[in-house]
Amino acid sequence: MPNLKDLKTRIESVKNTRKITKAMQMVAAAKLRRAQDAAEAGRPYAERFNAVLGGLAASVGNAEGAPRLLAGSGSDKVHLLVVMTAERGLCGGFNSSIAKLARQKAEELTNAGKTVKVLTVGKKGREQLKRDYADAMVGHVDLSEVKNVAYSNAQDIARDLLARFDDGEFDVATIFFNRFESVISQIPTSQQVIPAAFETDDDGSESTVYDYEPSEEGILTDLLPRGVATQLFSALLENGASEQGARMSAMDNATRNAGEMIDKLTIEFNRSRQAVITNELIEIISGAEAL
């Protein structure tokens, strides 16, 4: 049984930890509001932009003259996995869920005889994947100095991806991130960005016929690179909100656990102190009787 000094020191240590986790929870709650607003504000534009590109892509198809970002390289041998995680930890399973999804995809592609390359955005994703895929890593984007993610950050990543695609370094690029649903729910998501892939809308809600000037191919050539940047920016915003939500939830659980531990240690401390007092009384009484 630990002595009273050790128990008292441990109780003070857990109390200090609880103060830290409580402070981190409050900071995450404040950041979550802004990050959630940014993610939700960016969804309508991204969805509508993708819908317009999807309509253009459907009309062009894989016909001759279609942009390479739409038609692809003609092969799917080399896959680039863009794993987007946080720069910091202490946010529950946020980072590990993204890394797990990327690892599953990499194993699936490897078993199918494909070549896998990995580009990480965020330190935690690199740390988790470098053990198994150190040889496959071709780049890393450090956003640790970025306080608020901006569209320019997504543009920089998009330029890197497009340059690698033009140089023939990969055939298919897929991004991995967490889509924000609520404070306690973030959904690990994979999305192909190169060549462009769009969800087909078969409900027939839009039957308007458009005439494009210049041609659909010319418009797609200009818009598809912007579409890659838009998808990356949307993923960064979703990741930002998911990270703060996961950190808020994790710190709330840590604060509760610290409180429960303090209660248990306090009970143990009181019992130990009572045992010490009882032993002292017994010694005093025994001494008095001996006299």
Mean pLDDT of the chain: 85
Highest mean pLDDT pick, 15-24, 66-75, 203-212: 15-24
Q: Which is nearest to 84 in space by CA: 149, 13, 16?
A: 149
The mean pLDDT value for 165-171 works out to: 89
Measure the CA–CA gap between 104 and 112, rounded to whole angstroms.
12
CA-angle at 21, arms to 17 and 25, nearest 5°: 170
List, for residues 178-200, the tens digit of each pLDDT value.
Answer: 999 888 889 999 999 988 887 65
Specify the amino acid at residue 87.
E
Return left, alpha or beta for 22; rule: phi > 0 is left, psi -120 to 50 is alpha, else beta: alpha
Biggest CA–CA distance in the chain, Å, is 113
Pairing of strands 137-141, 185-194: unpaired
80 band by pLDDT with thresholds 50, 70 and 90: very high
Of the residues 14, 91, 161, 251, only one is catalytic, namely: 91
Which domains can be identified in the chain, with CATH numbers? 4-20+253-284 (1.10.287.80), 28-251 (3.40.1380.10)
pLDDT at 282 over 60: yes
Task: Answer yes or no: 175 catalytic.
Answer: no
pLDDT at 10 over 50: yes
29 phi and psi angles, rounded to 5 deg: -65, -40
List, for residues 21-71, the tens digit of each pLDDT value.
Answer: 999 999 999 999 889 988 888 888 888 888 877 777 777 666 566 778 887
- 3-state secondary structure (DSSP) of residue 213: coil
Which pair of structure tokens corresponds to residue 102? Answer: 């990327």
Q: Which residues in 2-38 are b (16+ Cβ under 10 Å) and which e?
A: eeeeebbebbeebeebbeebbebbeebbebbeebbeb
Residue indicated by tokens 């690029």: 173
204 band by pLDDT with thresholds 50, 70 and 90: very low
Beta strand segments in the chain, E = 78-84, 115-121, 137-141, 172-182, 185-194
pTM: 0.82
The angle, 0 to 180 degrees and rounded to 10, between the axes of the packed helices 216-290 and 94-111 is 130
List, for residues 217-258, the tens digit of each pLDDT value.
Answer: 777 778 888 888 999 999 999 999 999 999 999 999 999 999
- 3-state secondary structure (DSSP) of residue 1: coil
pLDDT value at residue 195: 85
pLDDT value at residue 207: 47
Measure the CA–CA gap between 291 and 283, rounded to whole angstroms.
13
